[in-house]
């Protein structure tokens, strides 16, 4: 049985068990903790030698597959706020298209990889530290804080939100909001999707819950809907502008992550949530530290291929 597979766009031969195993591990974590694996997948791909631009673009393609079935399932359950989703999507498409152009320009300058890495260091550092502190507080209090009620809006925040133009009612979510907010939020997630190759759910979900105060069941379905279409846009744009989408890599990751997610979801019912969260936080922080070191330690060779590879 052949153990290596050649990735035609990455132009790199990789060990088949490593790539599928990577997908499996990230899927397992995704299933265990209920978080998206995108923010872990790209840095791990970079660590096994996939050029960062290809890793980010192919991960977006993988997320298309992963979020497609989820979106459909939530659509059937009536959990998708299409009106909110469309606003988020418009922002996401604009942001994603802008992000792809940022990558294209930075590739020409030779700093696309640096941007991807530094964005990851910041985001992983933020997410890892937040998860670690939250889980530690949960363990000390003897219960999980993850189910805490949304924070109260400050009056200044309320005034700001209510003062925005074009206040619109979102029936499915039961809120009144200016479309400017989902447009901006979608745009930000679109840029991150292009730069980092992530779906953006790990930013979108808490913002929808805590800032927009949308019901949780609608949040997940709407977030998946927006992530699906944003990643479709990013995949097509990356393939067209940067030629960095390796769909062979995406499919291999999908196979691994789907199996991993199923096992993770089953395991998660048997394990303590806060302990698992601390473990994930440590893992995220470890990946962040590894990436940070790669940016601040002198490289083995000052010369590298232009544009990542």
Q: Please, which of residues 231-250 interact with another protein by CB under 8 A?
A: 232, 235-240, 243, 245, 247-248, 250
Whole-number CA gyration radius for the chain: 19
Q: Quick check: 11 binds another protein (CB under 8 A)? A: yes
170/247 with CB nearer another protein = 247
Q: How far is CA 221 from the centre of its chain?
A: 15
Cα 142–143–144 angle (5° rounding)? 140
Q: Quick check: 269 binds another protein (CB under 8 A)? A: no
- DSSP letter at 246 equals -
Q: Please, which of residues 196-225 interact with another protein by CB under 8 A?
A: 199-201, 223-224
137/294 with CB nearer another protein = 294
| 32 within 8 A of 279, measured Cβ to Cβ | no
Q: Quick check: 166 binds another protein (CB under 8 A)? A: no
- DSSP letter at 272 equals -
Element of type H or E holding 12: strand 12-15
| 248 within 8 A of 12, measured Cβ to Cβ | no
Q: Quick check: 174 binds another protein (CB under 8 A)? A: no
DSSP structure string for 22-44 = HHHHHHHHHHHHS--SHHHHHHH
Q: Quick check: 301 binds another protein (CB under 8 A)? A: yes
Task: Look up residue 271 and give its two tokens.
Answer: 């394990």
Among 47, 86, 136, 251, contact with another protein (rule: CB under 8 A): 251
136/236 with CB nearer another protein = 236
Q: How far is CA 186 from the centre of its chain?
A: 13
270/306 with CB nearer another protein = 306
DSSP structure string for 135-159 = HHHHHHHTS-STTPPPPPPPHHHHH
Q: Quick check: 90 binds another protein (CB under 8 A)? A: no
Q: State residue 267 phi and psi, 5-degree precision.
A: -65, -35
Q: Please, which of residues 33-72 interact with another protein by CB under 8 A?
A: 34-38, 61-72
Q: Quick check: 30 binds another protein (CB under 8 A)? A: yes
Q: Quick check: 277 binds another protein (CB under 8 A)? A: no
Among 23, 31, 138, 190, contact with another protein (rule: CB under 8 A): 31
178/277 with CB nearer another protein = 277
Q: Please, which of residues 118-137 interact with another protein by CB under 8 A?
A: 118
142/299 with CB nearer another protein = 299
Q: Quick check: 300 binds another protein (CB under 8 A)? A: yes
Size of the site for another protein (CB under 8 A): 72
d(CA 11, CA 225): 32
Q: Quick check: 297 binds another protein (CB under 8 A)? A: yes
DSSP structure string for 168-192 = EEETTTTEEE-THHHHHHHHHHHHH
Q: Quick check: 178 binds another protein (CB under 8 A)? A: no
**Least CB distance to another protein at residue 76 (A):** 11
Torsion of CA 274, 227, 15, 246, to 10 degrees: -170
């Amino acid at each position: 049985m052949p153990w290596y597979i050649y990735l035609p766009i990455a132009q790199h031969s990789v060990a088949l068990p490593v790539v599928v195993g990577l997908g499996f591990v990230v899927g397992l974590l995704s299933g265990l903790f209920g978080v998206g694996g995108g923010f872990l997948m790209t840095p791990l791909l970079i660590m096994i030698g996939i050029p960062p631009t290809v890793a980010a673009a192919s991960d977006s393609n993988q997320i298309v597959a992963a979020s497609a079935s989820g979106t459909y399932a939530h659509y059937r359950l009536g959990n998708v706020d299409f009106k909110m989703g469309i606003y988020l999507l418009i922002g996401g498409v604009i942001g994603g298209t802008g992000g792809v152009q940022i990558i294209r320009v930075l590739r020409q300058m030779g700093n696309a990889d640096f941007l991807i890495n530094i964005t990851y260091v910041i985001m992983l550092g933020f997410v890892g530290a937040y998860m670690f502190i939250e889980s530690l507080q949960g363990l000390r209090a003897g219960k999980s804080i993850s189910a805490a009620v949304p924070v109260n809006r400050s009056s200044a925040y309320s005034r700001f939100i209510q003062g925005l133009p074009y206040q619109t009612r979102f029936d499915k979510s039961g809120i009144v909001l200016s479309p400017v907010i989902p447009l901006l939020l979608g745009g930000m997630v679109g840029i991150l999707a292009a730069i980092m190759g992530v779906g953006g759910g790990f930013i979108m979900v808490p913002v929808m819950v805590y800032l927009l105060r949308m019901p949780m069941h609608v949040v997940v379905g709407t977030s998946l809907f927006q992530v699906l279409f944003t990643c479709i846009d990013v995949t097509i744009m990356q393939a067209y502008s940067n030629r960095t989408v390796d769909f062979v890599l995406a499919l291999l990751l999908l196979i691994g992550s789907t199996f991993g997610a199923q096992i993770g979801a089953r395991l998660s019912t048997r394990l303590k949530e806060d302990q698992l969260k601390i473990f994930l936080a440590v893992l995220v922080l470890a990946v962040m530290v590894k990436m940070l070191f790669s940016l601040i330690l002198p490289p083995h060779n000052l010369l590298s291929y232009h544009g990542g590879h």
